[in-house]
Structures are given as C-alpha cells and as structure tokens.
Amino acid sequence: MPELPAAPQMPFFSLAAVREEAASLEPVVRAVVAAVLREGRKHPDVDDCTNETLRRALEGAERLRQGEPVRPWLVGIARHVALDSLRAKKRRRNREAEAPPDSTGDVGSLVDKIPDAAPSAGEILSGKQRDTRVREAIERLAPVMRDALVKFHLEGKSYVQIAQEMNVPLGSVATWVTRGRKAIAAEIGRDHAQDHEGKLQ
C-alpha cells in the first residue's frame, strides 16, 4: 500500500490575504449554507448564516494555521454555522412542543434529526475515525485518482496544473477527482450518511 505524502508547509502567511480570500468566497459559503439548510440561496436564514460565517472567518483569520488552505477552512465554518442554526431551530421547536398544542409551529422533520448539542468528545473521535477511513479509502484508489487528489489537496495545485504535470487532458483530471471522491464516499457511506446534512430527511 503506497504511503500518502505529508502536507507541505507554506512559506508565508498573510492575514490580510486570508481575509481577502475569505470575502471572495462568499458564493461558495452561500451554497454550502443553502445546501445544509435545504433552502434557496436567497433565503433570509441563508443570508444570516452566510454573514455570520464571513464575520467569524474575518475575526478568526489569525487562528488559521500556517499553510492551511482558506477555502476548506471557510467551508467548515459555514457548515458549522448552518448546523448551529438548524439546532437552534430544533430547540425552539422543542420548547414550542412543550407549550399548549395550538401554539406549536410547523418546522420540518429535517430539524428533528439534527443533534441537539455542541460537538462532543465522541463526535470529535468519530471525526478522527472518519479521517482515518478516508485516508484508507484514498490509499485503495486507482493510482491516477489518488495522485490527482493528493496533488489537489496536499500540493494545492489546480486541475489545469495537475493535467499539465500528469500530461493528460483536463477532463481526465476532473473525472478522476470526481470518481475518486465518489469511491471514498461509497466506502465511508455509513459515516457519510450520518454526517450528510442535506440527506437527513
């Protein structure tokens, strides 16, 4: 089984550049929040969560570790903010359920299935287990898929750069990345199902 390379260290770290990149990623933040909330991208809740994500990112930019890419960090914040919003909805619904029947609201069953607590030690552990399982799944991929994913995620290369390095058409790289991710998702299907906010219903 080939060993996966270690993440390289980036040579510089500019807080202003991080903040600028975070702000430029507003569309992807909005898409992630909308996907988690299962709402349209113009929904007021999506607006709120998007703004909250960008606020947290700008305030917490100095906590980003040197060399850590901004985009997945921001996607992670967006996902947490959206999940927090769903949990808050669930708590509100529970409180309303304790009130007389004629005062209950109509919140979808999606909200019922959101855990009602901050990430526990168990959840953090399962995150580590998921990382391990993802790594194992990556190691089992076809070499071209694994190389494409490693070059993208660890070496920070674009699809175009990867295609040039591997001397293959751009479409091949895009296909390998997509199929590689699908294979990984299939292997960790159980964890994925538990964690896949958009498919809770």
Partner 1 sequence: MNDDPKNLLPDALVWSGEHLSEIALTALGDGQDKIIPQNALDHAASCESCGAAMGHAAIASMHVGNALRAPIAEVTIERAPVPWLAMIGALVLAIVGSAPSLLEAPRMLVHQMPVVLHGANALLRGLAGGLGPAVNFACAALLILAGAMVARAMPRAWSANKF
Q: Does 194 interact with partner 1 (rule: CB under 8 A)? A: no
Phi-psi region of 100 (alpha: psi -120 to 50; beta: other; left: phi over 0): beta
Contacts of 68 (CB under 8 A, 6+ apart): none
Single-letter amino acid, residue 184? I
- Integer Cα distance of 88 and 135 in angstroms: 33
Which of the stretches 22-30, 55-63, 93-101, 105-113 binds partner 1 when contact is defined by CB under 8 A?
22-30
Q: Are 198 and 133 in contact (CB under 8 A)?
A: no
Task: Name the segment binding partner 1 (CB under 8 A); options: 48-56, 103-111, 113-121, 126-134.
Answer: 126-134
Interaction between residue 41 and partner 1 (CB under 8 A): yes
**Is there binding between residue 11 and partner 1 (CB under 8 A)?**
no
Residue 152 CB, shortest distance to partner 1, in Å, is: 7
DSSP annotation of 113 reads: T
Evaluate the CA torsion angle 33, 38, 39, 41 in order and state its sign: positive
Q: Is 38 in the site for partner 1 (CB under 8 A)?
A: yes
Q: What angle do CA 103, 109, 111 make, to 5 degrees?
A: 85
> What is the token pair recorded at 81?
């903010």
Span of 11-19, 90-98, 108-116, 151-159 interacting with partner 1 by CB under 8 A:
151-159
Q: Candidates 27, 105, 108, 115: give the one binding partner 1 (CB under 8 A).
A: 27
Q: Which is nearer to partner 1, 112 or 195 (CB)?
A: 195
Residues in touch with partner 1 (CB under 8 A): 4, 7, 25, 27-28, 31-36, 38, 40-41, 68-69, 71-72, 75-76, 79, 128, 130-132, 134-135, 138, 149-150, 152-154, 158-160, 170-171, 174-175, 177-178, 181-182, 184-185, 195-198
